Structure 1
Amino acid sequence: MARLPVLSQQRAELEKVWARWATAAGRPPGREIALRHEVAESWERSLRTVDPARAVAPATDRDELGSRWAESPLRTPVTELAGELRAITEDAGMIAVVTDEAGTVLFCCGDRGVRRRAEQVNLAPGGCWDEPYMGTSGVALSLHTGQPCSVWAAEHLVEALHGWVCYCAPIRAADGRQLGVLDLSTYWDRSHPMILTTVRALVTAIEARLHAEQAQPASRTRLECLGVPRLYKEGKQVPMRPRQLEILTLLALEPEGFTPERLHEAVYGERSVSSSTLKADVSRLRRATDGQVAGRRYMLTEPMACDALELLAALEAGDMTTAVRLYRGPLLPDSDVPGIVQWREHLDVCLRTAVLADRNPEHALRFGQRCPDDIEIHEHAMRLLPHGDSRRALATARLHTAMRA
């Protein structure tokens, strides 16, 4: 608390400097002693395109945002570290934000109260925070300079951000390309120089995972088992029998594999089916996947991309945008195999519970599209959508149809 009077005085001096620049009609005054050189240069650039009175960052189209995050090389390493990011930020009263190379926010987690305040200026997934859009900020400076930096209080060009401090560092691919920025943000009076050290350490952890992933060969095979099932090898769809898809899905969802007895039970249940039938089914699957199924203990011999696994990872990371986008329907909806039925119920309950606990109406709307008979989901969307939002008409129609079914 002893630092607060000093910080308050520094903030007041910066506010005076900001006021002179903001009223200079694009003609900045002479250099200010209280203003850092890199901040002054950023203000000069930003004033050409940004109104300091802007209240909120512009937003990216929702569908485009989903595609950006799905295709981003940062998604896997950030998802793997999401638990650590959440623990650090919730304990410290901060939020963690990850952007792409264009300054668009792809991921956000942290203290719930701070997140709500951040959402008011669209420091949230979809917000555009590059310099030409939102002026001087930690994200913008890191993208421009390629260096770790902080922007505090009235160093932000946009007045709506004067209550914030952000600590940022760029995230780079193994070849040095800048892929985005990690930002830890909180209120101006909670600033501390050690936060930038934390950001650097977290970026190092993200980059280590990223570089290890990039060094490994990509999976040649992708299984899509949510909604319409499909198997792709080298980008081309492979025709598969329903039984082969069922066994392959079980092996993908349980990478540690099955004993023959347990797989027999998962596939055939209590039906009287000989062990030779299972061996024949697995043998046909092995041929269809070029030998990717081990023998004594039935398991996959190399990684396989799978939309159901990606959905579970997104839910574990709290990444609802990705989870809802991946859900194209129930797991192998036409299958009555006991193991598939059990996994189908598990996935549906996990995602539905998460959607009902989430405060983003877009997630309820997208999930409701796949679950037209779910009255509670449509009611949840109605509660979240503000009056005057045109999407209320869609939610109302779905609710009406579900109640008449």
Structure 2
Amino acid sequence: MGVGELEDRRREAVRAWTSFVEHGDAPGAVRPEILRSWGRSTAVGTDVTEAPLADEGETAGRWRDSPLQVAVERVEAELRRTAEDGDLVVAVTDPDTRILWTYGGRMMRRKAESVNFVAGGRWDDRSVGTNALDLANRLGAPAMVFSAEHYAPIVHNWVCWAAPVHDPVTGAQLGVIDLSTTWDRTHPIGLATARVMARLIETAMPRSRTHGGLLEETRDPGLVMTLLGTAETRLDGQRLLLNRRQTEILALLAMHPEGLSLEQLHALVYGDQAVTFSTLKAEVSHLRAALGGQLSSRPYRLLMPVATDVEHVLSLLRRGEVAAAVDAYRGDLLPGTNSPALHELAEYVAVALREALLADPQPDAVVRYGELAPYDVEVLETCLARLEGTAHPAVPLLKGRLAVARS
């Protein structure tokens, strides 16, 4: 988007905000979630000069006790580099939208400090008005707030992108990560970057172990497998260099925590292919070495906490959190796999996500899904039918995607 277009967009946002503040209404172009947040923000007023600060000791205690601290420390270099390269301020909050950690580029750091966009700052909309951190936290989905879409004039010069951060095992929403800069530096990939940063933190999160039905947090992150879209495996935060077959074997073991016999694992990996048991044993031996011996035999079973993005997506769907599931779904499971079991699982996850969208076609989620499945005409048509007669901002995007899919 060029500077002129951004300036026009900013003027429109200011006009809408002024109309709401002075007359209690706003043009139809204002997004519904922004308008609802403005309604909640009237109690704050427009003369707020900074966010209120929570008790310093209590904030430090929350940060110390949160699994987010461990995760952020593990990826802090990447978060800092993102902030410095884009002259952004990056913030991580708790579930109450209280900032627990922040880091800023040189210019944005000063701006952030002037409005208490710092550790302890309370950025729920009832404290400081409409902002992306609050929206992402409330909606459980990535959110962007541009210029005067913020309720408080102190941040009308900002653009903010935020995405929720979840526990990869339990699915609990732990807070959000926010990226902010000045409105004239708005970029189309801002929201995607926030999603990537959220996922980065989630993969570095301490794992949860189950004891007697209770979840006990541990500082050991265990094994984290990304299988949707692209494959990546990390053990205790360190990336493992595995070949395709080893990744498939490890994925199957992750999906079967009770363990698998040699014969069962062979059938799941190779199906009817003429591959010897010795070949499979050799691959398992390589895996056992890579995992530091944390893979038992008879049955083959992983001896550490395990989290996969596949189970994360399925757990979100089980709870009816369709938008969050679409965010977490980054593509087909191990595309091109010739493991019959993994091919079947890939189909199951893809169909489950699609059926959830057909049952509950949330517009923003369908827009994101369209990026992954651009030719799924039925999902697009179902969503547009639900939106018929409305001025939802997703409508032109969905119509454009549908036109391409039909061409």
Kindly report which structure 2 residues correspond to 1:241-320, keeping only aligned pairs within 5 A, or say none: none
| Distance in structure 1 (CA, Å) of the matches to 2:208 and 2:71 | 8
Partner-residue secondary structure (3-state), 1:108: strand
Residue type matched to 1:22 in 2? V
| Distance in 1, Cα, partners of 2:176 & 2:209 | 18
Structure 2 residue 66 is the aligned partner of structure 1 residue 67: no
Amino acid of the structure 1 residue aligned with 2:91: V
Q: Tell me the CA shift for residue 53 of structure 1.
A: 1.7
Q: Decide whether the 8 Å contact of 1:152 with 1:166 is kept in 2.
A: yes
Residue pair 1:163, 1:188 contacting (<8 A) in 2 also: yes
Q: Please state how far the C-alpha of 1:208 moved relative to its aligned partner.
A: 1.6
4+ residue stretches of structure 1 with deviation over 4 A? 213-217
Matched, 1:190 2:190: no
Report what 1:218 is aligned to.
218
1:151 lines up with 2:145 in the alignment: yes
Provide the rounded CA distance (Å) in 2 between the counterparts of 1:217 and 1:128.
26
Structure 1 residue aligned with 2:94: 100
How far off is 1:34 after superposition? 2.9
Q: Which residue of 2 aligns with 1:283?
A: none
* 1:217-267 superposed Cα distances (whole Å, 9 cap, x missing partner): 7379xxxxxxxxxxxxxxxxxxxxxxxxxxxxxxxxxxxxxxxxxxxxxxx
Q: CA deviation at 1:214?
A: 5.9
The alpha-carbon distance between structure 1 residues 217 and 188, as it changes in their structure 2 partners (threshold 3 A), is closer
1:45 aligned to which of 30, 40, 45: 40
- Could you tell me which residue of structure 2 aligns to residue 115 of structure 1? 109
Q: 1:214 to 1:167 in 2, by over 3 A?
A: farther
1:161/1:83 CA distance change after superposition, 3 Å? same
Deviation, structure 1 residue 52: 1.6
Q: Distance in 1 between matches of 2:182 and 2:207?
A: 35
**Is the Cα–Cα contact under 8 Å of residues 52 and 122 in structure 2 kept in the other structure?**
yes
Are the equivalent residues in 2 in contact too, given 1:14–1:34 (CA < 8 A)?
Answer: no
CA-CA distance at 1:212 after TM superposition: 3.5
Matches within 5 A, 1:9-20: 9-20=8-19
Q: Deviations over 1:149-206 (max 9, x none)?
A: 1000000000111000000001112222211000010000001120211111111121
Q: Deviations over 1:109-141 (max 9, x none)?
A: 120221111111111111000121111100010
Aligned partner letter, 1:93: D
Q: Structure 2, unaligned stretches of length 5 or more?
A: 211-215, 221-407
How far residue 69 of structure 1 moved from its aligned partner, in angstroms, is 0.9
5+ residue gaps, structure 1: 221-405
Count of aligned positions: 214
In the TM superposition, what is the alpha-carbon distance from 1:72 to its structure 2 partner? 1.2
**How high is the sequence identity, in percent, across the aligned residues?**
36
Answer whether contact 1:4 1:189 (CA < 8 A) is retained: yes
Which of the numbers 156, 160, 180 marks the counterpart of 2:154?
160
**2-structure distance, mates of 1:20, 1:160:** 18
Query: Within 2, Cα distance between the matches of 1:160 and 1:109?
Result: 19
RMSD (Å), alpha carbons: 1.9
Match of 1:11, SS state, is helix
**Secondary structure class of the residue paired with 2:93:** strand
- CA contact under 8 A between 1:85 and 1:110: conserved in structure 2? no
Q: Counterpart of 2:207 in 1: which secondary structure? A: helix
Q: Deviations over 1:365-398 (max 9, x none)?
A: xxxxxxxxxxxxxxxxxxxxxxxxxxxxxxxxxx
